[in-house]
Amino acid sequence: MDIEQCLATIDLLCGRDFPEQRGRTDRGSAGPGYHMAELAASHGLRAGDGAEREATADDFRAWMELVADRLNGRLGQAEHLGLVTLGVRIARGEEIPEPWARLSHVVRDVYVWSPQRRDRWVALGVADLDDSDEVHLLVAVTDTDPP
């Protein structure tokens, strides 16, 4: 995991056009109004040792803080946004737009930078909710306001 590579990926996603159709990209996934990319991923933690998984998630959160600190210098101060209630809203039948719906299934909370100086939101979070998957540091870039 390299902070400069993370920042370069975020810059790349902020400059890319959004596709018309949902699908995979060279960096992750994308669809109308969003890009989502994995900045880092663990290896071998799927359904593995819970303590090791939690320690790795803590390490990823520390990396997220470092990346967020650098983004704060570029994009202004981030807001902290909890996503747990989005899962409840989805369960009640509410339509939550992408990438926020996908993020709510895998990430507890995100740092979010609003589009004050540009037209896109940037969200950064650690995906560790699915014990059958690896731990990921994810970024989403979108023109859709958080719900």
Q: Has residue 147 been placed in a domain?
A: no
- The pLDDT, as a whole number, for residue 89 is 95
Q: Has residue 101 been placed in a domain?
A: yes
Q: Has residue 137 been placed in a domain?
A: yes
Q: Has residue 134 been placed in a domain?
A: yes
- The pLDDT, as a whole number, for residue 47 is 66
Considering its fold, how many domains does the chain have in total?
1
Domain of residue 114: give its range. Answer: 3-15+31-142
Q: Has residue 37 been placed in a domain?
A: yes
Taking the C-alpha atoms of residue 89 and residue 101, their distance in angstroms, rounded to an integer, is 10
Q: Has residue 23 been placed in a domain?
A: no
Q: Has residue 90 been placed in a domain?
A: yes
User: pTM higher than 0.85 for the full model?
Assistant: yes
Q: Has residue 22 been placed in a domain?
A: no
- The pLDDT, as a whole number, for residue 104 is 96
